[in-house]
């Protein structure tokens, strides 16, 4: 199924704008798992089971697996999510960006090895670094635009000769000539609501993956106010606030409680 259709189905079916990010850090695992990288799959699977009816996407961050030589556990997790939450799209957070021949290999990694429904990409090497991913029919490509970290301003907020900020140019390209078959989206941080609103103005129908709600301090209501449009999908990511809500045996139930509260706060902020 086309990524956008999957996202729409999960958003409406679960009445949710929430994405749970899967950033497993064994040092923060609950008692009985703490410090054991062999338990990464077990930890993430428990989170998936606890939240799968509350989300419109899951977003595993590849570095948290690769750093612990746990790529096999990521493969296992991707297959598990397809099995237990088949209606929920999975975004592989990889932020790849390289020349075309290398991009072909990264695309194969994301869509063949890991069977992701979408992948995050850096657009700063231009369209030919993105094009190889478009060969995979129906897969979503989500481009970094205005990221949630403070240092993003070093480049993304620079003014170009035409008067646009760099992040605005990325949004224009993604909503325009780069979006050949309607599969591009944008990463825009909840920590910058004014820029989020500007990106939504420039790209009114593109899916927006919005990190920064929760541990990074982004406000749920301000995020929805800035980004909400009936025909513009929103994927509001929360990772650490959900994953590490509890440190005991009931960690998955605690994660569910935070995920449900976040989903409800996002829904409450939607315009009537």
Which tokens go with 166?
């760099």
On the question of pLDDT at 246 being above 60, the answer is yes
Q: What mean pLDDT comes out for the span 187-197? A: 90
Dihedral of CA 5/238/16/189: which sign? Answer: negative
The pLDDT score that the predictor gives to residue 172 is 96
Q: Which domain holds residue 35?
A: 3-265
What local confidence, expressed as pLDDT, does residue 208 receive? 97
- Gap between the Cα atoms of 21 and 228, Å rounded: 21
* Count of CB atoms situated within 10 Å of the CB of 248: 10
Looking at residue 148, its pLDDT comes to: 81
> Higher pLDDT residue, 154 or 233?
233
CATH code for position 243: 3.20.20.70
Mean pLDDT confidence for 171-178: 96
The pLDDT value given to residue 160: 92
User: Structure tokens of 115?
Assistant: 């069977």
Q: What is the mean pLDDT of the chain?
A: 94
pLDDT exceeds cutoff 60 at 215:
no
- Confidence band of 216 (pLDDT split at 50, 70, 90): low
pLDDT digit string (tens) for 69-116?
Answer: 999 999 999 999 999 999 999 999 999 999 999 999 999 999 999 999
| Structural domains in the chain (count) | 1
Would residue 272 count as lying in a domain? no
Is 59 one of the annotated active-site residues of the chain? no
Let me know if residue 271 belongs to a domain: no
Give domain status of residue 94, yes or no. yes
pLDDT at 17 over 90: yes
Q: DSSP 3-state assignment of 60?
A: strand
- Does 222 reside within a domain? yes
- Residue 225: inside a domain: yes
Distance, in Å, from the CA atom of 96 to the CA atom of 62, rounded to the nearest integer, reads: 11
In this predicted structure, what is the pLDDT of residue 101? Answer: 94
pLDDT-above-70 percentage for the chain: 98
pLDDT tens for 48-80 read: 999 999 999 999 999 999 999 999 999 999 999
Mind listing the pLDDT tens digit for each residue in 115-170? 999 999 999 999 999 999 999 999 999 999 998 888 888 888 889 999 989 999 99
**Average pLDDT over every residue of 218-236:** 88
| Active-site residue (options: 52, 95, 135, 254) | 95
């Amino acid at each position: 199924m086309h990524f956008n259709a999957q996202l729409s189905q999960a958003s409406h079916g679960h009445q949710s704008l929430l994405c749970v990010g899967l950033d497993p850090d064994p040092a923060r695992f609950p008692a009985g798992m703490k410090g054991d990288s062999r338990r990464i799959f077990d930890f993430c699977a428990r989170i998936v089971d606890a939240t799968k009816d509350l989300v419109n996407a899951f977003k595993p961050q590849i570095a948290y697996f690769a750093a612990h030589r746990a790529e096999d556990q990521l493969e296992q997790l991707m297959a598990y999510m397809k099995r237990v939450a088949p209606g929920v799209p999975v975004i592989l957070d990889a932020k790849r960006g390289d020349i075309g021949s290398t991009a072909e290999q990264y695309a194969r990694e994301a869509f063949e090895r890991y069977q992701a429904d979408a992948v995050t990409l850096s657009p700063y090497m231009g369209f030919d670094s993105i094009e190889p991913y478009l060969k995979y029919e129906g897969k979503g490509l989500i481009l970094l635009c205005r990221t949630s970290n403070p240092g993003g301003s070093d480049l993304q907020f620079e003014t170009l000769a035409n008067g646009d900020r760099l992040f605005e140019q990325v949004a224009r390209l993604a909503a325009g000539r780069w979006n050949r078959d309607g599969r591009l989206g944008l990463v825009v941080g909840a920590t910058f609501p004014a820029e989020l609103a500007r990106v939504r103005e420039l790209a009114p129908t593109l899916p927006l993956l919005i990190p920064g709600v929760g541990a990074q301090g982004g406000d749920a209501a301000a995020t929805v106010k800035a980004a909400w449009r009936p025909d513009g999908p929103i994927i509001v990511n929360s990772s650490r606030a959900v994953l590490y809500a509890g440190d005991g045996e009931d960690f998955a139930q605690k994660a569910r409680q935070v995920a449900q509260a976040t989903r409800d706060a996002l829904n409450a902020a939607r315009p009537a």
